[in-house]
Structure 1
Amino acid sequence: MLTRRQILTFAAAGTASALATPILAAAPEPAKEPAKTFRFGWQKNGVPALTKRRGTLETRLAARGVAVTWHEFPSGPPLLEALGAGAIDFGYTGDIPPIFAQAGKLDLVYVGAAPAPGSSSAILVKKDGPIRSLADLKGRTLAFTKGSSAHNVAVSALRKAGLTLKDVTPAYLSPADAGAAFAGGRVEAWSIWDPFYAIAEQNPDVRVLTTAEGIVDSYGYYLANGAYTKANPTLVREVLAELAVQAAWSQDHLEETAKALSEITGVPYDVTLRSVKRTNTRFAVLPVTPEIVKTQQAIADTFAAEGLIPAKLDIASIVWTAPSI
């Protein structure tokens, strides 16, 4: 659960100082006008969706004269494409989308993190099918969304069995398309996250081959456009502070949280409640600590070694350092 100290860490605001040349004092730069809008990219799940529903971010930023607009995306990769291009200012994704975005030299920075427990992701197969172990995935068709957290689960699970993506036939599909292909027998296995995982496991013909527990040690991430963050550091901190408050409330009120998410997504309440109760640390907003950077760096190094991104990355180089008070 988020501590009061972590909430206060995000709530603090920063200041900037003027620079002068050694010979002649430079004219002070004109004060930058804060942005008048905050464009939030969101998916129908998690703390951003709950915050949007509650309207608390709009109330908080209205005091600064800033309006909030919400822009929905089906998954992390297209969200970060928009973020890097400056079409939105802020968003949340799993671990892999920012790695591909950084490899593509998009303008974004890590500004916060959240637990991504392995219990909330899984590789699914047919109950009576021939795939009984991870090794049995060899030669099979495995569906997942390219550049998503499910991509990481697929790669990591295969590595655990001594395999690589070259040993399977990857089917790069959106969650909706992958679900339809899996149900129709056009793919033999599906790497997916909640709530899609919770929905699919309701089918008696579906079996969980493995969850990501013990396979993937990871986080989800709050990211912001680099130029926007540089121009509006205090505003970004305000947003993180509000998200931290909403995350803490959600973690303390799981039944109410599940009801709200059910209404947002259309997923039945009992299925949603199962999803949110898989772990007691799902709802939190954390600073991007050196330990978290190390975890993300290890994932990026694996993807570079597998040839899934063109070169090694330096994750720490795009982690935002909030200005001092």
Structure 2
Amino acid sequence: MRRRLVPAALLLPLALLLTACGGNSAADTGGAVDGQGSLTLDVGDQKGGSEAILRAAGELKNLKYKIKWSTFTSGPPLLEAVNAKAVDIGGVGNTPPVFAAGAGSKITVVAAWHGTSKGDAILVPDKSKLTDTQDLKGKSVAVAQGSSANYQLVASLKKAGLSLSDVKVKYLQPADALAAFTSGKIDAWAVWDPYTSQVLQAKQGRVLTTGDGITNGLTFQVAAPSALKDPRKAAAVKDYLQRLRRAYTWVYSHEDEWAKVWAKETGLPDDVALAAVRRTYTTRVAVAVDPQLIASEQQIADTFTQLKLIPGKVDFGAFVDTRYNDGLPASTTAPRPSEG
């Protein structure tokens, strides 16, 4: 990609990508149905997400139940659907479950993946004079409210001795933030991959700092408690999670193949998709939903409570179910050495 603004045509598919984010878009409840049998598992997904990776890895074959896919633009509305029992299970990042728990939603974290946070970055334009996180004081920073990037911004500022009140926060969804960033209307942008890779590959900006070593790098599958109380659906959830774990393992040795599928699913340029896959996808390791994980998420919840972005104290441990932990490593397991 040349040194120019990202084509407007890319903004729509990019706004639909998987990973933790904020937003209010509705689900597409007319998703495809896979598998055989009388049982249907309603799965919430994001464009280029679980369905795409399962299909690419060949893990949607020989299902003993049907999967009905509903596509969401982001984590918060997906969890609203879980709360409403419209979706049995779906994937989100590390922060939307905290906000959902704070709202008293009926959700249960049942599975987790640990990876690098190098794709979660605070970006500045190439010609920006900002060189350090401390330089953000008094500057305008765009971020999606309630997203993983929201927490990454808070944590990065804290490490630099700053707080949210020291910057001019602009709560923007990714498509709007990208437009503001490339037109020079904001000084910095806190965001996640593949947006990070898109900006870097297009040489439209550079990384001021990343969430690596600052945020926990967790992503989750979150289920409806009602589905977990149904023995047949609970068994289907177990099978679904096993397939999803195998699919992520498949990515480790099929980076190029998965990047091509992801590019086709999302409308991303091939080079952007490959860069994002190498930076983000190939470092994800399935881990147990254990006390260390709960404590890490509790820290995020407490942070947003202190900022009064969540109305009260959240007991994150009350929103997890450990029944699917068998054989998984502890959540403190480091990402694969291949991440570089």
TM-score bracket relative to the smaller structure: 0.7 to 0.9
CA distance in 1: counterparts of 2:204 and 2:57, whole angstroms: 37
Q: Is the 8 A contact 2:201 2:271 kept in 1?
A: no
2:274 maps to 273
What TM-score do the two structures reach when normalised by structure 2?
0.78
CA distance in 2: counterparts of 1:60 and 1:172, whole angstroms: 44
C-alpha deviation, 1:103, in angstroms: 0.4
1:200 maps to 199
Which amino acid in the other structure matches residue 250 of structure 1? V
CA distance in 2: counterparts of 1:55 and 1:278, whole angstroms: 23
Work out which structure has the larger RCO, using CA pairs closer than 8 Å and 6 or more positions apart in sequence: 1
| Structure possessing the higher radius of gyration over alpha carbons | 1
CA distance in 2: counterparts of 1:163 and 1:134, whole angstroms: 9
Q: Is the 8 A contact 1:132 1:209 kept in 2?
A: yes
2:224 maps to 225
Q: Alpha carbons of 1:265 and 1:280: their partners in 2 closer, same or farther (altered >3 Å)?
A: closer
CA distance in 2: counterparts of 1:302 and 1:324, whole angstroms: 27
1:49 maps to 52
Q: Is the 8 A contact 1:182 1:190 kept in 2?
A: yes
Which consecutive residues of structure 1, in runs of 5 or more, have no partner in the other structure? 1-33
Q: Alpha carbons of 1:213 and 1:87: their partners in 2 closer, same or farther (altered >3 Å)?
A: same
* 1:181-260 map, 5 Å: 181-231=180-230, 232-260=233-261
Q: Alpha carbons of 1:294 and 1:35: their partners in 2 closer, same or farther (altered >3 Å)?
A: farther
CA distance in 2: counterparts of 1:35 and 1:137, whole angstroms: 55
C-alpha deviation, 1:252, in angstroms: 2.3
Judge which range, 184-193 or 130-139, deviates more: 130-139
CA distance in 2: counterparts of 1:84 and 1:155, whole angstroms: 27
C-alpha deviation, 1:307, in angstroms: 2.2
Judge which range, 148-157 or 183-192, deviates more: 183-192
CA distance in 2: counterparts of 1:116 and 1:79, whole angstroms: 22
Q: Is the 8 A contact 2:98 2:301 kept in 1?
A: yes
The Cα offsets for residues 78-127 of structure 1, whole Å up to 9 and x where unpaired, read as: 21122212221111111110000000111110010012411111111112
**Cα RMSD, aligned residues only:** 2.2
1:128 maps to 127
Q: Is the 8 A contact 2:126 2:205 kept in 1?
A: yes
CA distance in 1: counterparts of 2:42 and 2:178, whole angstroms: 30
Q: Is the 8 A contact 1:297 1:314 kept in 2?
A: yes
Q: Is the 8 A contact 2:39 2:66 kept in 1?
A: yes
CA distance in 1: counterparts of 2:325 and 2:128, whole angstroms: 57
Local SS of the residue matching 1:106: coil
CA distance in 1: counterparts of 2:323 and 2:152, whole angstroms: 31
Local SS of the residue matching 1:197: helix
Equivalent pairs: percent with the same residue?
Answer: 38
2:311 maps to 310
Judge which range, 152-161 or 214-223, deviates more: 214-223
Q: Is the 8 A contact 1:139 1:168 kept in 2?
A: yes
C-alpha deviation, 1:289, in angstroms: 2.0
C-alpha deviation, 1:132, in angstroms: 2.3
CA distance in 2: counterparts of 1:281 and 1:50, whole angstroms: 12
Runs of 4+ in 1 over 6 A off after TM superposition: none
1:320 maps to 321
Which amino acid in the other structure matches residue 124 of structure 1? L
What TM-score do the two structures reach when normalised by structure 1?
0.82
The Cα offsets for residues 150-182 of structure 1, whole Å up to 9 and x where unpaired, read as: 111111111111111112222222211211121
Which consecutive residues of structure 2, in runs of 5 or more, have no partner in the other structure? 1-36, 327-340
